[in-house]
Chain A
Amino acid sequence: MLDTYRKLETPENIDLDIHIAGPLVRILAFTIDSLIRMGVQIGLLIALAFLGKVGMALWLILTFVLEWFYPVLFEVLNQGQTPGKKAMDIAVVNDDSTPIGWSASIVRNFLRIVDFLPMGYVTGLVSMILNKDFKRVGDLAAGTVVIYREKSKAAPKWPASTSSPPPIALNLKQQRAMLSFVERQNSLTKERQQELANHLQPVFQQQNQEAVNHIVRVATWLRGGQ
């Protein structure tokens, strides 16, 4: 199945949902990082030009560090996020979702030169497309994976409503669908809400706005409101 959610079983015997980041968002993050890196290099070149030969030496050393260790330092010291990854809300972690360490980060970033072959990260892209966890070669060798790090969303506002019990017994899945509908309500247009609610006409015997209101009442009852 085409799905980017993975279940990770922890030692505490629960399943955590991991959301794997795909090629597009990673390319965007990489582009941001490349621009930052290029900007810093040019900035350094201008600033250090005033220091003559010593400046040249510093520039060589600093560009060496930027070239090989820019992603490594950020990933290890900043919770798996380079500035580009941070902007895209993704992060790199070990396969078991623990924070990445020096060795793994160095392997995955040094192997960029393999991913780059023959030009423009073609190998990396092909590897990502063939792999179900979107791993490029560096990720395969290091045992790492890039995941979404979702920001905590504000709790959806639960509409004030009276409650009423459902007319028939609902199983857990159906109950959850009710709750989910109400939580998503604010992101849907009125028309779409009604369209969705109308599917339940055979059960609730209501139409349009009335059907929506009825679902809200049932969901409120399910959630435990009086």
Chain B
Amino acid sequence: MKQELFEQNNRGPWQQFESKLDSLESRKRSGKAPQVSGFAEQYRQVCHHLALAQERQYSPHLIDRLNQLALRGHQQLYKSHTNILYNMVYFILVGFPAAVRREIAFVGIASTLFFGSLLLTAVLTYYNPSLVYSIYPEESVMDFTEMYNPASKARMEETRTAADDFTMFGFYIKNNIGIGFQTFASGFLLGAGAIFNLLFNGIAIGAVTGYLTELGYTETFFSFVVGHGAFELTGIAIAGAAGLKLGYGLLCPGRLSRKQSLIRSAREAMPLVYGVFFMLLIAAFVEAFWSSSSYLSITAKYTAGASFWLLVLSYFALGARRGSE
């Protein structure tokens, strides 16, 4: 068949298919669902025409046009359709705790590195307070000593307003969640970036803890950190686990090709990253509006803090058990 006849016979269907693609691709769908009946059939026909046109060596313009139609059709047909709200609820109830348990080896290593370095530094600083100066510059030490000094804390809390709480909320989101994401992504460097971030944060937090405990500021310090710590510290450990997973995929591909292994471990680490975002968001909220509150009694903060820890741990240990069976 000559090209002109071929074009004449099929111009109509191609135009129909093209306008269908246009309506599927346009973002302002304004509520009404695009007309899709017959899409798959038309797509197969265009594929067929493309194969014919290639085989018969029709002119390049025609082949390009059909190729483009087929490519656009391919993208629309094989697009994954997801319900984002359902996915989010399902993820929080089932996906996240299941993912943490599936990756328990990485979570275990990351937690050991993070909490281990934290505790070790805390103990060392407690018995040798001058150690804090090899970790923090002098001004920072003075800053946080002042901040948790029971005498000055009362004065600072009086001047703190609701707007300040809100500013701190923004700061915690930008800073803490950013650190979480960085810990994951830098794990690509064969895990080194994740390990560095875990140890760095563990040592930094541990030094403050040991130093302030030794000074006897335990009440102001622990009542502040216990609440959001449940979400924040576990969040950082899980971010580290996600980073380690990524690096391990690149380092030890097993029977897959290295590239395939990397793609796979990145995909499997993603639930952990979503979870880190979720945990650190809660942590930022608690830290800004609950931990800093001066109206709550110390007992209330300790009780709430203990129940947050219990909640988080049992969420990971028991969440979605029935669903996974």
Interface size on A, residues (CB 8 A): 61
Q: Assess whether B270 is interfacial by the CB under 8 Å rule.
A: yes
Q: Assess whether A202 is interfacial by the CB under 8 Å rule.
A: no
Stretch from B69-77, B110-118, B137-145 at the A interface: B69-77
Q: Assess whether B12 is interfacial by the CB under 8 Å rule.
A: no
Stretch from B44-52, B124-132, B293-301, B311-319 at the A interface: B44-52
Q: Are A141 and B68 in contact (CB under 8 A)?
A: no
Q: Are B173 and A61 in contact (CB under 8 A)?
A: yes
Q: Assess whether A142 is interfacial by the CB under 8 Å rule.
A: yes
Q: Are B71 and A16 in contact (CB under 8 A)?
A: yes
CB distance from B248 to the nearest CB of A (A): 13
Q: Are B79 and A98 in contact (CB under 8 A)?
A: yes
Q: Assess whether A175 is interfacial by the CB under 8 Å rule.
A: yes
**Partner pick for A106 among B44, B170, B259, B273, CB 8 A cutoff:** B273
B50: chain A residues within 8 A (beta carbon): 14, 16
Q: Are B270 and A113 in contact (CB under 8 A)?
A: no
Interface set, chain B 44-62, CB cutoff 8 A to A: 44, 47, 50-51, 54, 56-61
Interface string of B149-178 (1 = CB under 8 A from A): 000000000000101101111110110011
Q: Assess whether A32 is interfacial by the CB under 8 Å rule.
A: no
Q: Assess whether A152 is interfacial by the CB under 8 Å rule.
A: yes
**Partner pick for B270 among A10, A61, A103, A112, CB 8 A cutoff:** A103
Q: Assess whether B223 is interfacial by the CB under 8 Å rule.
A: no
Q: Assess whether B181 is interfacial by the CB under 8 Å rule.
A: yes
A114: chain B residues within 8 A (beta carbon): 185-186, 188-189, 193
Q: Assess whether B237 is interfacial by the CB under 8 Å rule.
A: no
Q: Are B266 and A152 in contact (CB under 8 A)?
A: no
**Partner pick for B51 among A14, A52, A96, A140, CB 8 A cutoff:** A14
CB nearest neighbor in A for B1:
A224
Q: Are B186 and A113 in contact (CB under 8 A)?
A: yes
B146: chain A residues within 8 A (beta carbon): none
**Partner pick for B178 among A67, A106, A222, CB 8 A cutoff:** A67
Q: Which of A110, A141, A153 has the most CB of B within 10 A?
A: A141
- Assuming A113-B186, A224-B2, A224-B3, is B74 touching A97 (CB within 8 A)? yes
Interface string of A91-105 (1 = CB under 8 A from B): 001001111010110
**Partner pick for A68 among B27, B43, B171, B181, CB 8 A cutoff:** B181
A36: chain B residues within 8 A (beta carbon): none
**Partner pick for A176 among B60, B177, B259, CB 8 A cutoff:** B60
- Assuming A14-B47, A68-B181, is B74 touching A224 (CB within 8 A)? no
Q: Are A223 and B59 in contact (CB under 8 A)?
A: yes
**Considering the chains assembled together, what is the distance between the CA atoms of A15 and B109 in angstroms?**
46
- B contact face: mostly helix, strand, loop, or mixed: helix
Count CB-based A-B contacts (< 8 Å): 156
**Considering the chains assembled together, what is the distance between the CA atoms of A79 and B29 in angstroms?**
14
Interface size on B, residues (CB 8 A): 60
**Partner pick for A56 among B170, B177, B259, B262, CB 8 A cutoff:** B170
Q: Are A58 and B47 in contact (CB under 8 A)?
A: no
A166: chain B residues within 8 A (beta carbon): none
Interface set, chain A 63-110, CB cutoff 8 A to B: 63-64, 67-68, 77-79, 93, 96-99, 101, 103-104, 106-107, 110
CB distance from A185 to the nearest CB of B (A): 12
Q: Assess whether B184 is interfacial by the CB under 8 Å rule.
A: yes
CB distance from B81 to the nearest CB of A (A): 10
- A contact face: mostly helix, strand, loop, or mixed: helix
- Assuming A57-B169, A99-B75, A113-B182, is B61 touching A77 (CB within 8 A)? no
Interface string of B270-302 (1 = CB under 8 A from A): 100100000000000000000000000000000
CB nearest neighbor in A for B250:
A141
Q: Are B61 and A183 in contact (CB under 8 A)?
A: yes
**Considering the chains assembled together, what is the distance between the CA atoms of A150 and B69 in angstroms?**
11
CB distance from B25 to the nearest CB of A (A): 6
Q: Assess whether B86 is interfacial by the CB under 8 Å rule.
A: no
CB distance from B44 to the nearest CB of A (A): 6
A179: chain B residues within 8 A (beta carbon): 3, 58-60
Q: Assess whether B4 is interfacial by the CB under 8 Å rule.
A: yes
Interface residues of B (CB under 8 A from A): 2-5, 18, 25, 27, 43-44, 47, 50-51, 54, 56-61, 64-65, 67-68, 70-71, 74-75, 78-80, 82, 161, 163-164, 166-171, 173-174, 177-178, 181-182, 184-186, 188-189, 193, 246, 259, 262-263, 266-267, 270, 273
30 interchain pairs (CB within 8 A)?
A14-B47, A14-B50, A16-B71, A18-B71, A53-B161, A53-B163, A57-B168, A57-B169, A60-B173, A64-B174, A64-B178, A77-B27, A97-B75, A103-B267, A113-B186, A114-B193, A140-B262, A141-B263, A150-B68, A153-B61, A153-B65, A155-B65, A175-B57, A176-B59, A176-B60, A183-B59, A222-B2, A223-B2, A223-B3, A223-B59
Closest 10 CB pairs of A and B: A224-B2, A60-B170, A57-B170, A224-B4, A179-B59, A53-B163, A172-B57, A64-B174, A12-B47, A176-B57
Q: A179-B3, A223-B59 provided; 5 other pairs, C-beta below 8 A?
A: A14-B51, A57-B167, A141-B246, A176-B59, A183-B59
